[in-house]
Amino acid sequence: MGKWMDGYLERLAKNHQENLEGGGKDRIEVQHGLGKLTARERIDLLADPGSFEVFGSLVRDPYARLAQIPKASPSDGVVMGLARINGRQVMVYSLDFTVMSGSIGDQGIWKIAELVQMAGQERLPIIGMIDSAGSRISFKGGFVGLNGMGQLVRNYCHYSGVIPQITLLLGPCTGPMVQIPALSDFLIMNRNTGFLWLGGEIESDDAGGAEFHMEKSGQCDLIADSDEEAIDLAKQVFDFIPQSCWDKPIAIKSADDPERREEELLDVLPDNPKFTYDMHEVIELIIDNGEFFELKEDFAPNLITGFARFDGIVTGIAASNPDELSGIMEPDSSDKYDKFLMFLDAFNIPLLTVSDTTAYPPGDKWERMGVIRHGAKNLHGYSHLTNPKVTLVLRRSYGGSNITMGCSKMGPDFIFGWPTVEFAPTGPESIVQAVFHKQLAKAKEDGNYEEVYNSFLIPLKEQFSVMNMAKAFTTYYSVHEVIDPRDTRAHIIKAFHAAIGKREELPDKKRYIKPA
């Protein structure tokens, strides 16, 4: 080796050492004292051993080089590069809180923007780990990095639906950077250290925390109690998603019998239709090994969303939950449903819709919350799905839910119903009250209210029963087949195997316009 190379290699080695030390030993100790891992420790835990290939390690804060900021800025506070997770390639970045509190610098933001573009072009998922005090301030430059922030946001938007985007919020995230977790497909927050807040006055103790963004804002998909758990959750999500929209999720060979009958399904529905039940019981009995990976568990729990497998095939499940608000479709659950459907369709993931709902709630309260436009968004979204779609209806399918939950002629590939299903414009009980109110008032005076009420209700429920409606295959709300509940799993698996290679095309257009 020529001596002329010695000086360059020494400088390069020094640069690498500075990057490994981050903000220094003291700042690393503070980071660990807060219960947080460092940026590099997080990447090492996420990536397969030895697979991380760092990019942009020479980058430093330009204002620091001009002596405007007398602080070290290794990698400008952003550790990023190429890695593998379970052998699969992925792009990853991690903000380094030990470097100027993870503040977003002029070069760091451009690094991330460039990485997202690289990920999109190479068709690789992007995983970001955020731990940042916000925009970095320079006395001469003001808030630096805003120009790069625009490019970063644009890249996230342009590659949305092209590559999966996962964000782990493991520390604070404020100001303009909050848009990145919101734009991502999945947001995982550390319960103890994650904080997401655009700005302004904080008026409640839980504002900005993981529970706040799970239960109230609905932006958080998964909550972890530590960095380690958050990274493990990210790996679990990764197992259900493909590399890009041009790929399909990886199917695995399942040890769970695809023909398995479940006698317990006969006991899930309560004898009295006025009583509720937990839809999780049904889901866990029909999926592979009862392993359900739920998303947004505590947001709009009247609608369940999550991933599972059927005979090894990755499937997204969206299911009414009668145990919460009778499984109604209100604005929050509509938003939850919409984003989940869009993700599944973008990445070729089959959808199982499980319906038992009294539909959209009437009344002034819900109208003021925009129940109509939220419902329209669901109808518009489902109408544009081209992924494999199977619908299972268990009991009640009333009003607009017939359409929203993938029944009727909305384009599901297969619709199955249990013999207990009722299709109706609204609940038969409400119809009886509205149509026969005079007769019921008189019966109440005569003391035979229950007898008269049931004389109207029972024939009406029989009329709305799928056992009658299914006699007309296309005229009314119906199903492709009424099935024995015990064979539900086998029917769904056969349907997905039939639909997995389908081609469904939409009318040619520049783009569609979703209701607000």
Residue spans per domain, the chain: 9-240, 263-421+465-499, 426-463
CA distance 410 to 382: 7
Average pLDDT over every residue of 451-467: 77
Amino acid 495: pLDDT: 97
Average pLDDT over every residue of 287-315: 97
CA distance 320 to 271: 19
pLDDT band at 144 (very low <50, low <70, confident <90, very high): low
* Nearest residue to 45 via CA among 208, 196, 227, 213: 227
For residue 379, the SS3 value is helix
pLDDT for 450 beyond 90: no
pLDDT for 476 beyond 70: no
pLDDT band at 138 (very low <50, low <70, confident <90, very high): low
pLDDT band at 143 (very low <50, low <70, confident <90, very high): low
CA distance 50 to 268: 49
Amino acid 100: pLDDT: 86
What is the fold of 263-421+465-499? Answer: 2-enoyl-CoA Hydratase; Chain A, domain 1 (3.90.226)
For residue 189, the SS3 value is strand
State the chain's mean pLDDT as an integer. Answer: 90
Model confidence over 264-298: pLDDT tens digits? 999 999 988 788 999 999 999 999 999 999 999 99
pLDDT for 120 beyond 90: yes
Identify which has the larger pLDDT, 70 or 73.
73
Amino acid 56: pLDDT: 87
Model confidence over 166-223: pLDDT tens digits? 999 999 999 889 999 999 999 999 999 999 998 888 888 888 999 999 999 999 999 9
Amino acid 98: pLDDT: 92
DSSP string, 20-69: HHTT-HHHHHHHHHTT---HHHHHHHHSPTT--EEE-TT---HHHHTTSS
pLDDT for 456 beyond 80: no
pTM higher than 0.75: yes
CA distance 165 to 158: 12
Amino acid 452: pLDDT: 78
pLDDT for 148 beyond 80: yes
CB 79 within 8 A of CB 43: yes
Amino acid 407: pLDDT: 82
pLDDT band at 147 (very low <50, low <70, confident <90, very high): confident
Domains 9-240 and 263-421+465-499 share a fold: yes
Model confidence over 37-62: pLDDT tens digits? 999 999 999 999 999 999 988 888 87
Amino acid 140: pLDDT: 53
Q: What is the DSSP-derived secondary structure letter of residue 411?
A: -
Architecture, CATH, for domain 9-240 = Alpha-Beta Complex (3.90)
Residue percentage of the chain with pLDDT more than 90:
61
